Structures are given as structure tokens and as C-alpha cells.
């Protein structure tokens, strides 16, 4: 499977997953859940299967360099763990269920942070030169490099960086907005769509036959 196709598939699953879960679950009469992790209803197989697919795709993805490969591999493993460590149930959870739920949140937060890093790194247009000071290396690692890769245009770089910033902002406001109904579901949807959009743009050439 080509990397372009892999990017498109990852982007498609990420963008469609929250809408499929919400709309189909509502359509079959199970209503709305407070978060995507709450869709352990009739949509459980779709939720778990989609996360596992994203996770396997990320692990299979061979990035530009070793940091890319490590980031996508770890993010993929964390995404698979999200699927197999369900969130804490609402009604009198046991100590074991609370522990599993805490692991679920840990894996989810870590995965979303890494998804943000991936979006930033899509804007990386040249390799990190040896001998740079550490702050320059950090800037390069997050995609803020000089001119390069002539196929990358300005709007694409803006999408990558906007996606990364959006995910980080959503992570930062999850706790302050935790008392607002369905806020977590909305924030998770925004983060997945942002992540998926960056992968769509990165793999856009396959859509035009390039």
C-alpha cells in the first residue's frame, strides 16, 4: 500500500468516525453519549474497529526519519490501547474499572498530543542540519523550517500548523469545559477532524492521480 493511500485512509477514518458513531447510534435509538469513549453501545464494534485500524495504519506508516517512525509507532500503539481499555462506567464502577478508565484517559491524552506533533511535522520541509542549537532543532522538529520541498504550498503548511494548534488547544480546554454537556464529545470530534484533515492534505496527490 502506498504512503499516499495510507494517509488518505487514516484521514478518512479519523474524520468520519465521530459522525458515524453519533448519527448511527442516534438513528437506532440509543441517543447521544457524553464522549466518543461512551459509545460502547451497539456501536462498540465500529468504535473499537476504527481505532484499531487507525492504530495499525500508524504503526505501519514509515515516516521520513527515525523521529517520524517513533512518533507514529507510539501513537498507533496508544490508539489501539484506547480501544481495549474502556472508559470508566458511570454507575458505581469498581476499583478495577476506575483503574482501566484512568489508563484509557492517559492513552487518549498521549495519543492526541502525538497526533498534534504529527500535524506539525507534516510542515517539515528539510532535514535537521547537524550542529544546530537545541532551540533550532526543536523548531525544525515541529515543522518550522526554511524553504524546501517545492511541492508544498503555503495553504498546506497553514493546514498542518492549524491542525496541530487546534488539537493542543482542545486538549488544554478539556478540563475547564468538563462541566459542559457533550463538551468532550465536541472536542474529541474537532481533534479527530483536525488530525484527519492534515493527513488528507498530506495524501492529496493520490486524489489527483499524482
CB 143 within 8 A of CB 121: yes
Q: Print the domain residue range for 53.
A: 3-206
Name the residue with higher pLDDT: 18 or 144.
18
Q: Tell me which residue of 75, 8, 3, 82 sits closest to 38, measured CA to CA.
A: 82
CB 88 within 8 A of CB 101: yes
- pLDDT score, position 144: 66
Q: How far apart are CA 87 and CA 56, in angstroms?
A: 21
Q: What is the mean pLDDT of the chain?
A: 82
Q: Tell me which residue of 51, 9, 44 sits closest to 30, measured CA to CA.
A: 44
Q: Could you tell me how many residues make up the chain? A: 210
pLDDT at 116 over 70: yes
For residue 187, give every residue at least 6 positions away whose Cβ sits within 8 Å of its Cβ, in sequence order, or none: 170, 173, 174, 177
pLDDT at 167 over 90: yes
- Torsion region of 91: left, alpha or beta (phi above 0 gives left; psi -120 to 50 gives alpha): beta
Q: Kindly report, residue by residue over 122-151, the tens digit of the pLDDT.
A: 876 555 666 777 777 676 666 666 554 445
- pLDDT score, position 76: 94
Q: How far apart are CA 129 and CA 45, in angstroms?
A: 45
Q: Kindly report, residue by residue over 21-66, the tens digit of the pLDDT.
A: 899 988 888 788 888 887 776 788 888 999 999 999 899 887 767 7
Q: How many domains does the chain have?
A: 1
- pLDDT score, position 150: 44
Amino acid at each position: 500500500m502506498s504512503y499516499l493511500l495510507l494517509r488518505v485512509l487514516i484521514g478518512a477514518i479519523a474524520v468520519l468516525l465521530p459522525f458515524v458513531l453519533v448519527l448511527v447510534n442516534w438513528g437506532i435509538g440509543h441517543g447521544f453519549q457524553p464522549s466518543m469513549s461512551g459509545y460502547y453501545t451497539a456501536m462498540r464494534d465500529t468504535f473499537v474497529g476504527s481505532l484499531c485500524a487507525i492504530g495499525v495504519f500508524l504503526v505501519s506508516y514509515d515516516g521520513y526519519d527515525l523521529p517520524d517512525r517513533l512518533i507514529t509507532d507510539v501513537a498507533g500503539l496508544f490508539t489501539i490501547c484506547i480501544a481495549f481499555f474502556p472508559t470508566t462506567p458511570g454507575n458505581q464502577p469498581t476499583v478495577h474499572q476506575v483503574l482501566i478508565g484512568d489508563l484509557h484517559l492517559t492513552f487518549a491524552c498521549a495519543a492526541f498530543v502525538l497526533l498534534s506533533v504529527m500535524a506539525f511535522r507534516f510542515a517539515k520541509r528539510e532535514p535537521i542540519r547537524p550542529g544546530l542549537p537545541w532551540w533550532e532543532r526543536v523548531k525544525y522538529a515541529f515543522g518550522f523550517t526554511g524553504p524546501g520541498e517545492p511541492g508544498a504550498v503555503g495553504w498546506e503548511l497553514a493546514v498542518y500548523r492549524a491542525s496541530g494548534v487546534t488539537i493542543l488547544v482542545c486538549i488544554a480546554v478539556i478540563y475547564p469545559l468538563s462541566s459542559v454537556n457533550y463538551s468532550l464529545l465536541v472536542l474529541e470530534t474537532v481533534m479527530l477532524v483536525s488530525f484527519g484533515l492534515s493527513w488528507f492534505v498530506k495524501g492529496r496527490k493520490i486524489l489527483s492521480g499524482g
